[in-house]
Amino acid sequence: MSKLSEKEIVKHLEKLPEWDYEDDAIHTEYEFNNFKDCFSAMSRIAFECEALNHHPDWSNSYNVLNISLTTHDAGGITLKDIKLALVIEGIVEEEEEE
């Protein structure tokens, strides 16, 4: 899969207002009510990543989750990153509503 142009990335990020684009990756940070909710979201995201065979660079500190997405094989941002970010948004939205 080839990497997206900067113009294409900016266009896709219109659907992902909480995500920033920097250094050939897209980034966001989530703050949950507590560690349990954060880890629960991480667990659900992990299974989706496996299903998509596309994995995040992420870090967790107590109730905060930082996620960066890039396609290592392509050396930049591809549709796989946009798709996974949309899936992650859906999971986090559900997690926050529970």
Ligand X SMILES: C[C@H](O)[C@H](O)[C@H]1CNC2=NC(N)=NC(=O)C2=N1
Query: What span, in angstroms and rounded, lies between the C-alpha atoms of 93 and 98?
Result: 9
Write down the least CB distance from residue 88 to ligand X, Å.
12
* Four-point Cα dihedral 36, 41, 47, 53, nearest 10: -130
Map the footprint of ligand X across residues 54-83, applying CB under 6 A. Answer: 54-55, 70-73
Write down the least CB distance from residue 58 to ligand X, Å.
11
Q: Applying CB under 6 A, which of residues 17, 22, 23, 53 lies at the interface with ligand X?
A: 53
Three-state secondary structure call for residue 5: coil
Contacts to ligand X by CB under 6 A: 53-55, 70-73
